[in-house]
Structure 1
Protein backbone atom coordinates (compact mmCIF):
# COMPACT_ATOMS: atom_id res chain seq x y z
CA UNK A 1 0.00 0.00 0.00
CA UNK A 2 1.30 3.47 -0.89
CA UNK A 3 1.09 6.01 1.93
CA UNK A 4 0.38 9.68 1.28
CA UNK A 5 3.05 11.84 2.90
CA UNK A 6 1.28 15.12 2.20
CA UNK A 7 -2.17 15.97 3.51
CA UNK A 8 -3.37 17.82 0.40
CA UNK A 9 -6.15 19.66 2.24
CA UNK A 10 -3.71 21.07 4.83
CA UNK A 11 -1.22 21.96 2.08
CA UNK A 12 -3.91 23.86 0.18
CA UNK A 13 -4.92 25.72 3.36
CA UNK A 14 -1.31 26.62 4.16
CA UNK A 15 -0.68 27.89 0.63
CA UNK A 16 -3.41 30.53 1.06
CA UNK A 17 -0.88 32.45 3.19
CA UNK A 18 0.76 33.53 -0.06
CA UNK A 19 -2.45 35.07 -1.43
CA UNK A 20 -1.57 38.72 -2.09
CA UNK A 21 -5.10 39.80 -1.09
CA UNK A 22 -4.98 38.37 2.47
CA UNK A 23 -6.68 41.11 4.48
CA UNK A 24 -9.71 41.51 6.70
CA UNK A 25 -12.98 40.22 5.19
CA UNK A 26 -11.14 38.52 2.32
CA UNK A 27 -12.78 35.23 1.27
CA UNK A 28 -10.00 32.64 1.36
CA UNK A 29 -9.88 29.98 -1.35
CA UNK A 30 -7.37 27.25 -2.09
CA UNK A 31 -5.41 27.22 -5.33
CA UNK A 32 -8.10 24.86 -6.63
CA UNK A 33 -10.87 27.34 -5.82
CA UNK A 34 -12.30 25.58 -2.75
CA UNK A 35 -13.64 28.19 -0.31
CA UNK A 36 -12.13 27.89 3.17
CA UNK A 37 -13.66 30.87 4.96
CA UNK A 38 -13.25 34.58 5.64
CA UNK A 39 -10.31 36.41 7.25
CA UNK A 40 -11.56 37.94 10.50
CA UNK A 41 -8.26 38.88 12.14
CA UNK A 42 -4.67 39.53 11.02
CA UNK A 43 -1.74 39.56 13.44
CA UNK A 44 1.73 40.72 12.38
CA UNK A 45 4.45 40.06 14.95
CA UNK A 46 6.00 43.33 16.11
CA UNK A 47 9.21 41.82 17.53
CA UNK A 48 10.82 41.30 14.14
CA UNK A 49 10.33 37.53 14.15
CA UNK A 50 8.31 37.70 10.92
CA UNK A 51 5.35 35.78 12.32
CA UNK A 52 1.96 36.38 10.68
CA UNK A 53 -1.29 34.83 11.84
CA UNK A 54 -4.59 34.95 9.97
CA UNK A 55 -7.86 33.98 11.63
CA UNK A 56 -10.03 32.36 8.96
CA UNK A 57 -13.54 31.24 9.89
CA UNK A 58 -16.32 29.62 7.90
CA UNK A 59 -18.99 31.93 9.32
CA UNK A 60 -17.67 35.43 10.16
CA UNK A 61 -20.91 36.26 12.01
CA UNK A 62 -20.39 33.42 14.50
CA UNK A 63 -19.48 34.32 18.09
CA UNK A 64 -15.73 34.08 18.74
CA UNK A 65 -16.21 31.62 21.61
CA UNK A 66 -18.08 29.24 19.27
CA UNK A 67 -15.30 29.02 16.67
CA UNK A 68 -13.45 25.70 16.53
CA UNK A 69 -9.66 26.00 16.35
CA UNK A 70 -7.79 24.25 13.54
CA UNK A 71 -4.21 24.80 12.50
CA UNK A 72 -2.32 24.51 9.25
CA UNK A 73 1.42 24.66 9.80
CA UNK A 74 4.20 24.17 7.28
Structure 2
Protein backbone atom coordinates (compact mmCIF):
# COMPACT_ATOMS: atom_id res chain seq x y z
CA UNK A 1 0.00 0.00 0.00
CA UNK A 2 1.57 3.28 -1.04
CA UNK A 3 2.13 5.94 1.62
CA UNK A 4 2.21 9.63 0.79
CA UNK A 5 5.26 11.77 1.56
CA UNK A 6 3.83 13.50 4.66
CA UNK A 7 2.76 10.23 6.26
CA UNK A 8 6.22 8.82 5.55
CA UNK A 9 7.83 11.76 7.38
CA UNK A 10 5.55 11.23 10.38
CA UNK A 11 6.41 7.52 10.46
CA UNK A 12 10.14 8.28 10.26
CA UNK A 13 9.77 10.85 13.06
CA UNK A 14 8.10 8.32 15.37
CA UNK A 15 10.74 5.69 14.51
CA UNK A 16 13.50 8.18 15.36
CA UNK A 17 11.71 9.19 18.56
CA UNK A 18 11.33 5.54 19.53
CA UNK A 19 15.03 4.88 18.99
CA UNK A 20 15.97 7.92 21.07
CA UNK A 21 13.72 6.76 23.90
CA UNK A 22 15.18 3.24 23.68
CA UNK A 23 18.76 4.53 23.78
CA UNK A 24 17.98 6.87 26.70
CA UNK A 25 16.36 4.01 28.62
CA UNK A 26 19.37 1.78 27.92
CA UNK A 27 21.77 4.48 29.15
CA UNK A 28 19.78 5.01 32.38
CA UNK A 29 19.65 1.25 32.95
CA UNK A 30 23.43 0.95 32.58
CA UNK A 31 24.03 3.93 34.88
CA UNK A 32 21.64 2.54 37.50
CA UNK A 33 23.24 -0.91 37.35
CA UNK A 34 26.72 0.59 37.70
CA UNK A 35 25.66 2.58 40.78
CA UNK A 36 23.90 -0.44 42.31
CA UNK A 37 26.83 -2.81 41.83
CA UNK A 38 29.30 -0.14 42.97
CA UNK A 39 27.43 0.33 46.24
CA UNK A 40 27.05 -3.45 46.62
CA UNK A 41 30.81 -3.87 46.17
CA UNK A 42 31.61 -1.20 48.76
CA UNK A 43 29.11 -2.64 51.23
CA UNK A 44 30.53 -6.15 50.94
CA UNK A 45 34.10 -4.88 51.07
CA UNK A 46 33.58 -2.97 54.30
CA UNK A 47 31.48 -5.76 55.83
CA UNK A 48 34.22 -8.31 55.14
CA UNK A 49 36.89 -5.93 56.43
CA UNK A 50 34.97 -5.34 59.65
CA UNK A 51 34.42 -9.07 60.08
CA UNK A 52 38.12 -9.78 59.67
CA UNK A 53 38.98 -7.07 62.20
CA UNK A 54 36.51 -8.50 64.71
CA UNK A 55 37.92 -11.99 64.29
CA UNK A 56 41.47 -10.76 64.96
CA UNK A 57 40.67 -8.83 68.12
CA UNK A 58 42.43 -10.03 71.24
CA UNK A 59 39.70 -8.98 73.67
CA UNK A 60 36.89 -11.05 72.20
CA UNK A 61 34.31 -12.20 74.66
CA UNK A 62 33.22 -15.81 74.96
CA UNK A 63 29.68 -16.44 73.83
CA UNK A 64 27.29 -16.83 76.74
CA UNK A 65 24.97 -19.81 76.36
CA UNK A 66 21.32 -18.87 76.03
CA UNK A 67 18.71 -20.03 78.49
CA UNK A 68 17.05 -22.38 76.03
CA UNK A 69 20.41 -24.08 75.34
CA UNK A 70 20.68 -25.05 79.02
CA UNK A 71 17.24 -26.62 79.29
CA UNK A 72 17.43 -30.39 79.70
CA UNK A 73 14.58 -31.67 77.61
CA UNK A 74 14.25 -34.64 75.29
CA UNK A 75 15.35 -34.13 71.70
CA UNK A 76 12.16 -33.39 69.78
CA UNK A 77 13.71 -32.92 66.36
CA UNK A 78 12.44 -34.96 63.41
CA UNK A 79 14.51 -37.96 62.32
Q: TM-score range by the shorter chain?
A: under 0.3
Highest relative contact order (Cα 8 Å, sep 6+), 1 or 2? 1
Quick check: which has more Rg, 1 or 2? 2
Normalised by the length of structure 1, the TM-score is 0.22
Normalised by the length of structure 2, the TM-score is 0.21
